[in-house]
Amino acid sequence: MAKFPIGVQLYTLRDQLKQDFVGTVKQIAQIGYTGVELAGFGNLKSAAEVKKALDDAGLKVAGNHIWFPSLENELNKQLDEQDILGNKMIVVPWLEEKRYKDAGGWRQVADSIMKIAQESAKRGFTVAYHNHAFEFNKFNGHSGFDILWEHTDPKLVKSELDVYWIKYGGEDPVAYSNQLSNRVVMLHLKDMASGPERKFAPVGTGVLDFKSILAAGEKIGVKWGLVEQDNCYDTPPMESIRTSFQNLKKLGAV
């Protein structure tokens, strides 16, 4: 059994959630997941409705992906909403391309995330950054990730490490987890299919070494492992996350 709980990033099920948030999260719980990471409210209108739906399903809130400009421009409003949800983990999920095209842009991103993290910490929130692969683009020998980590306080700005995108970016997920160490508070668990297209795949069906990834996560004190699959292609997303759960179970993670 892994030392950290396993949940689902709800972006995987975004289409179903737009139709039936309540029914979808019940199905997630029935599979055996214990929590979710939010990425919008689906067909529900308020944080209170989402909180009730998750409580009724017996699911915890692991974190919430919140659009970066919203954190920059209306932080207290966003934090008020997180209080309603019972969520203490704020995740920057994505950057607009204009913001990461050069080293100066990354410095500005780092400065902005630091301000958000400092203010959020006063209210008991943790801020983490979720990566894709563009963070490894180099500027005079330094990657965007290098700049971000060098110019933010490791006690305040954490990492939600997406192991698929780390692999896609040319790095080893285990080595990078160990490099960031206790900055990593959550892992996004998704696999990469073999072949040149490097398609998204359910955990345990591709080329990533999840036994080692999970062991590294335990070692560095990860709080949550979150199954995510950006695109499930012709497979129903609920079936994909069920496959991931079953394979994580075989690995002793759940």
- pLDDT averaged over the chain? 97
Residue 240: predicted pLDDT? 98
* Spatial contact of 66 and 128, defined as CB atoms under 8 Å apart: no
**pLDDT value at residue 2:** 63
The string of pLDDT tens digits covering residues 86-104 is 999 999 999 999 999 999 9
Domains in the chain, CATH or no CATH each: 6-250 (3.20.20.150)
* Tens of each residue's pLDDT in the chain, 254 residues: 568 999 999 999 999 999 999 999 999 999 999 999 999 999 999 999 999 999 999 999 999 999 999 999 999 999 999 999 999 999 999 999 999 999 999 999 999 999 999 999 999 999 999 999 999 999 999 999 999 999 999 999 999 999 999 999 999 999 999 999 999 999 999 999 999 999 999 999 999 999 999 999 999 999 999 999 999 999 999 999 999 999 999 999 99
CA–CA gap between residue 242 and residue 160 (Å, rounded): 22
| pLDDT confidence of residue 141 | 95
Could you give the CA distance from residue 109 to residue 89 in angstroms, rounded to a whole number? Answer: 19
